[in-house]
Amino acid sequence: MSSIGSPTGAAPTDTGRAAATARGHLFNAGSLGRYRDVLARGVDRVARRVGEVDTPFTGVTPDELAPLIGGIDLDRPLGDTDAALDELHDVWLRDAVWFHHPRYLAHLNCPVVIPALLGEAVLSAVNSSLDTWDQSAGATLMERRLIEWTAGRIGLGPTADGVFTSGGTQSNLQAMLLAREEAYRRAVGGAATRPDRPQVLSRLRVITSAAGHFSVQKAAKLLGLAADAVLTVPTDASRRMRADELARTIDRCHRDGEVVMAVVATAGTTDFGSIDPLPEIADICADAGVWMHVDAAYGCGLLVSPTRRHLLDGIERATSVTVDYHKSFFQPVSSSALLVRDGRSLRHATWHADYLNPARAVEQGIPNQVDKSIQTTRRFDACKLWLTLRIMGPDAVGELFDQVVDLAAQAWRRLDADPRFEVAAQSQLSTVVFRYRPPGLAPDLADEANLHARDALAASGAALVAGTKVDGAHHLKLTLLNPETTVDDVAHVLDLIADHAAWYARTATAAELSCPVG
């Protein structure tokens, strides 16, 4: 008797043919030839495009691309790899922002090393999920070994632990989650009657510097803290947190009946590359019994620097640390981690589910990373760093980071000596904050000229720089993370900025003079 459906020997239906075609796209032992061919075509397209790139950007606008992308009918497949790659070129690759270009000087985006790209290709094909052992096997242990290695570089001690995350914002969020739960536990530990949780949370405070990352405020909001939970303390002339102001802020919180759940120090602020005085902050936090978190998302490259590791002195006393390998270890996004001094604190992110990580798995000694993470399904991003260290080694990565820090120092000196520009505090890392402000240019006009120069530079595609505000005034920023960038590249970009800004200032002044009075 035949099975339900088409009689045995009947011609395949259209649905059957479509299903067979769809199965042909699955990656398995039967499709290895197609796998090699398709990926080779994709790699070839990227290689060809990178070989053609002569500017970091084309200057394309959203209005130009939106109709093209919006007009694509996603219900009608092209059915051909080359056709799809042609289309991908038109909607993305042609106008992509190229971080590897030496005149991309905008945000904290680094060029990536080839061993990490190899890791990306391998981990995507295998597609391990790092939530449980039975979905990852050795990948779990490799991630744990990299966490151990990073904690050792920081100096957190034998009880340290951690977990990979999607980036610094998630790492900072999880650190604040752990700090919140520890602060709540201490607050209710000695109480005769258990106080109401919302009432306790309303008194929790986080202290960071005025130059700290916005993700601290974002984390406080997501964690249900009070609207005024994050207190910022002023910075010194080098844009580093003032330790004396931190101590005063903690004392004021105690007098007001508020609970300081964490102090967030920064080892590499986004704008200024400044590193807060970690030893002094550690002393203050130890005296006050406060959780000390160090956001080293940017400055973590110093952990492998052959010459500048001392700039992170004091980080070894932190309660928790954020590192972003995809900023200063030259890794593809995403590759980040949260490290904690006491691995037991990660229990605040644990929730057992019978279908995933039952409590008996702990009794059996089965290592499940979901017990430490606020994510469930999670990529094996550690693979990229693993291959980077095994092929290049940490010293080579550190030497690349040292090169961009050296370049930033040279760029700062050049700008400081150039009468067309004003410079802000000199970075300890690889950013340079400055603005076009030749003698005699009014402050308001200087703001407008700098805004115009950044926009005009981006529209030309010749280079990309970032913008920020310093003490209310518009500034520009070079973020130097490409060891291939030279002082000549920087000088050329500065000349372009000065030309755009000077044109705007002349035009605006002429227009104002030509306007009739009244």
Task: Name 10's Cβ contacts closer than 8 Å, sequence gap at least 6.
Answer: none
pLDDT above 90: residue 190: no
Amino acid at 376: T
Span of 78-87, 93-102, 355-364 with lowest mean pLDDT = 355-364
Tokens of 20: 């067979």
- Distance in angstroms (rounded) separating the CA atoms of residues 53 and 428: 31
pLDDT of residue 197: 87
pLDDT in tens, 452-490: 999 999 999 999 999 999 999 999 999 999 999 999 999
pLDDT of residue 188: 84
pLDDT in tens, 324-350: 999 999 999 999 999 999 999 999 999
pLDDT in tens, 282-292: 999 999 999 99
Question: Binning pLDDT at 50, 70 and 90, where does residue 4 land?
Answer: very low
Would you call 54 exposed, middle or buried from its count of C-beta atoms within 10 A (0-12, 13-18, 19+)? exposed
pLDDT above 50: residue 7: no
| Helix 168-189 and helix 215-222, axial crossing angle in degrees, nearest 10 | 50
pLDDT in tens, 242-282: 999 999 999 999 999 999 999 999 999 999 999 999 999 99
pLDDT of residue 46: 97
- Distance in angstroms (rounded) separating the CA atoms of residues 343 and 294: 16
- Distance in angstroms (rounded) separating the CA atoms of residues 79 and 90: 17
pLDDT of residue 193: 63
Task: Name 76's Cβ contacts closer than 8 Å, sequence gap at least 6.
Answer: none
Mean pLDDT within 88-105: 97
State the greatest distance between any 2 C-alpha atoms of the chain, in Å, as a whole number: 99
Question: Binning pLDDT at 50, 70 and 90, where does residue 22 land?
Answer: confident
- Percent of the chain clearing pLDDT 90 (strictly above): 88
pLDDT in tens, 485-516: 999 999 999 999 999 999 999 999 888 777 66
For the chain, domains (ranges, CATH) are: 129-391 (3.40.640.10), 395-514 (3.90.1150.170)
- Write the DSSP string, 143-166: HHHHHHHHHHHHT--TT-EEEEES
pLDDT of residue 2: 40
| pLDDT, the chain, mean | 94
Cis peptide before 460 (omega within 30 of 0): no
pLDDT in tens, 413-465: 999 999 999 999 899 999 999 999 999 999 999 999 999 999 999 999 999 99
Span of 102-111, 288-297, 353-362, 380-389 with lowest mean pLDDT = 353-362
Question: Binning pLDDT at 50, 70 and 90, where does residue 15 land?
Answer: confident
pLDDT of residue 148: 98
- Write the DSSP string, 210-245: TTS-THHHHHHHHTT--TT-EEEE-B-TTS-B-HHH
pLDDT in tens, 191-208: 656 678 888 899 999 999
Tokens of 34: 């197609």
Can you tell me which residue has the tokens 């760029």? 411
- Distance in angstroms (rounded) separating the CA atoms of residues 320 and 340: 4
Q: 486, 448, 440, 444: which is closest to 467 by C-alpha?
A: 448
pLDDT of residue 510: 84
pLDDT in tens, 133-169: 999 999 999 999 999 999 999 999 999 999 999 999 9
pLDDT of residue 512: 74
Task: Count CA atoms within 13 Å of residue 209 on its CB side.
Answer: 30
pTM: 0.93
**pLDDT, greater one: 192 or 214:** 214
- Distance in angstroms (rounded) separating the CA atoms of residues 299 and 309: 10
pLDDT of residue 6: 46
Tokens of 96: 């992509």
pLDDT above 90: residue 14: no
pLDDT in tens, 223-234: 999 999 999 999
